[in-house]
Amino acid sequence: MATPADHQTTAAERLISVAIQSTWLLWLLGGLYIAGPAMAWILTAMAAITLYLAPADSASWRPPPPHPVIFIWLLGMLAMLAILIVGHLLNELGTGKTIKSSIGWAKGWALLALFPLAGALLPVRPEVIYRAVCRLGLQTLILIPLFLVAPFAGLPGLLYVSPLKIVGGSGPEYFAVILYTLEPGTGVPRWQFFAPWSPAAGMIAVVHILCALEEKQLGWKVIGVSAGLLIALLCQSRLALVALAIVWPVSFGVSRLRQPWAWFTAAPAILLLGLLSPQIQGLMDQAIQRFTSARADSSRVRAALGRIAIERWQNEAPWFGHGIVENGPHLVEYMPIGSHHSWYGLLFVKGLLGAIALAIPLAASFWMAGRLALYQPIGRVALAMLLLLTLYSFGENLEILSYLYWPALVIVGIAARQAALRRQEGTGAATTGGQEPPERRWQGDVPTPEGDSVERQ
């Protein structure tokens, strides 16, 4: 199943492809939590070298000037670090905790800016990411029977915790090799695969499905989508199923807004929705009730964690937060306050300013990807990834899982590069008679249409 993308890959593409395809190996070694941040900083160093050397070599890769959204992400995540330091000072947490939290920032929040930066500045094609995800899916399909048999064959759920946990992290689950877990109360097996917990596996499964759907070769596409769907179903994540039903259709719909048929199709649909709004509202209420009652204990704990986070944020540290995560009372099973929710977590730990530091880059990225989606496929994919991150921000802490979903961030960066290229070249409907040119990417100094196989001289 070789394609042109397999024969002229750049160093950045090879690194990204190998990292994605090594996911299961890194999981066995307990090294995924280390590999993600390492990838971010290595790719950032490569991007810095590219910017430094490109002007001196006329045949080298010359990325367009970074799109403003890249600078907004960098400023937002640097603001996170500044807010963290101020929060520690205000709460008198000491130098040791400040240093530890700063290292945590470099392994978490910083990645939300570094991976888009790498995608924007390095010669990385999205097709390389799509194919690598599909190849990882083939490995997953081979391994899934082992995971399914494990709980019924008497194999232990936890195989071991990697000694790499010595590097530090939020908990041993990031370095644990787990075949399955048993649902409390029911004893039903539940799988989390290479993620630290099952809902996180659902999130990564949706990222992989969105990538696999863009694969051009049908065989690899079927493999990638099948593997993602199996993980999403077996992890039994409610949010993953909701994301599958919402994210791709919405991004596809936005990408077709320039087509007259889309508006003609939407008009009667909107009219029908208006006429049936009471029935639809009732169905939505039932769906929400079923969603909540599917795991009533989990929903109760999440709601309590949110209430505690909001109350303590408002009453104790509204602007810069408490500086660090604190465990809740017995009511929430001593779980960290603000966990399972990025916005509650930000308000509690970094205050209102921390929430704003994430909201602004997300909003800017939506604007960039939404506009690009009207003209280029990569815009639609980036928009889908941003929708997924936003949806999961209400059920997970985004910074904690950035080491797993980083390919989505690279795709957002690639989309920002294409948006910057359009700005630089002055392309648009006004200059092309109402038609947009095909997606372009740079090889040397010459922009070539997507999919062309142009050897570098």
Beta strands in 58-182 (DSSP E): 158-161, 176-178, 181-182
Half-sphere exposure of 393 (CA within 13 A, CB side): 17
Give dist(CA 410, CA 320) in Å, integer: 29
Q: What is the helix, strand, coil percentage profile of the chain, to 5?
A: 65, 5, 30
For 98, counting Cβ atoms within 10 Å of its Cβ (0-12 exposed, 13-18 middle, 19+ buried), the class is middle
Closest CA to 415 of 454, 364, 452: 364
Strand, helix or coil at 324? coil
Per-residue pLDDT of the chain (457 residues; tens, 9 = 90+): 333 344 578 899 999 999 999 999 999 999 999 999 999 999 999 999 888 776 655 555 677 889 999 999 999 999 999 999 999 999 888 888 999 889 999 998 999 999 999 999 999 999 999 999 999 999 999 999 999 999 999 899 999 998 988 877 677 889 999 999 988 767 789 999 999 999 999 999 999 999 999 999 999 999 999 999 999 999 988 889 889 989 998 998 888 877 665 555 666 666 555 655 565 566 565 655 665 555 556 667 777 777 888 888 888 888 888 888 877 776 666 677 777 778 888 988 898 999 999 999 999 999 999 999 999 999 999 999 999 999 999 888 899 999 999 999 999 999 999 999 888 777 444 444 444 444 444 433 333 333 333 333 2
Report the candidate in 116, 165, 144, 170 with the shortest Cα–Cα distance to residue 327. Answer: 170
Q: Kindly give, in sequence order, each residue whose CB lies less than 8 Å from that of residue 24, ignoring residues fewer than 6 positions away.
A: 136, 139, 140, 143, 194
Q: What are phi and psi of 176, to 5 degrees?
A: -90, 145
For residue 295, give every residue at least 6 positions away whose Cβ sits within 8 Å of its Cβ, in sequence order, or none: 238
Q: Name residue 118's amino acid.
A: A
Residues 128, 113, 199, 382: is their CA dihedral positive or negative?
negative
